[in-house]
Structure 1
Amino acid sequence: MNEIEFTIGALAKSAGVNLESIRFYQRKGLMAEPDRIRGTIRRYGATDLARLQFIKAAQRIGFSLDEVAELLRLDDGTHCEEARHLAEQKLRDVRERIADLGRIEKALDQLVVSCCEVAGNVKCPLIESLYHRT
């Protein structure tokens, strides 16, 4: 066998994740748990490393673990359109979050400005406005 072999610790280090992440992904069904071929140590290969890197890359661009599982299910080369639909939905979600953050930024900016305009012994405008927001 010419394939690279890793212990779970070496796999974690190679992928830049902690060991518990791999175990968690196994419990979630995102990664298989290899058989114990040599005694009690499980051996992972280059395919496992690639899968782990795929999971992390998908998470970095915003996919949840359930969405990652769906992408992995589609990874046979015949489901490009379905994968594109998932990506389009994720893009819509990201754009909605950006719009929400813009509204939050504007509200906070206004509250900070109102804090700077108050002098004397009065209630804080920021705290007071939070009591009256719905």
Structure 2
Amino acid sequence: MTEQLSIGGLAALAGIGVETVRYYQRQGLLEQPSKAAGGQRRYAPDQVKRLRFIKRAQSLGFTLAEISGLLQLADGHCCAEVRSLAIHKVQLIETKLTALLAMHQALNGLIHKCDANSDTMSCPIIDLLNRN
């Protein structure tokens, strides 16, 4: 029989905190086992793999709701569906990158205005933010 893990052991092996494990349980991403005779919950070692899956998916930008769907798809042969989700995620990232680049350029322009500003009583950035 494979040794069961405490929540602390599970979290440590997955490289996350205990509160993160509990949060994932509340979100329905990880089952909460019933308490053993000693009053402590014991986790199967394969739950480490599930937690690592969740963390990797998060690092790729998937939300917890999207990860829930991916976990359901992970058990079957659904490559086309997962590919479609990934394409959609890439499109969202590209949209965010475009917005971030525009913010970057706007802020750099304002910084240059500050550098050229000889009026110590006003700030071009604050002036812009205060516009009606």
TM-score by length of 1: 0.91
| C-alpha displacement of 1:33 | 1.0
User: Identity rate of aligned residues, in percent?
Assistant: 38
The residue number in structure 2 matching 1:76 is 75
* Structure 1 residue ranges without an equivalent (≥5): none
Greater shift after overlay, 119-128 or 89-98?
119-128
* Structure 2 residue ranges without an equivalent (≥5): none
The residue number in structure 1 matching 2:126 is 127
Task: Give 3-state SS (helix, strand or coil) of 1:73's partner.
Answer: helix
Q: CA RMSD in A?
A: 1.5
Query: What is the 5 A alignment of 1:1-134?
Result: 1=1, 3-132=2-131
Task: Give 3-state SS (helix, strand or coil) of 2:42's partner.
Answer: coil
Provide, for residues 104-127 of structure 1, a one-character-per-residue CA deviation record: whole Å limited to 9, x for no partner. 010001000001111134421111
Task: Give 3-state SS (helix, strand or coil) of 1:13's partner.
Answer: helix
CA distance in 2, matches of 1:42, 1:124: 58
CA distance in 2, matches of 1:77, 1:68: 15
Asked whether the 8 Å contact 2:10–2:45 carries over to 1, the reply is no
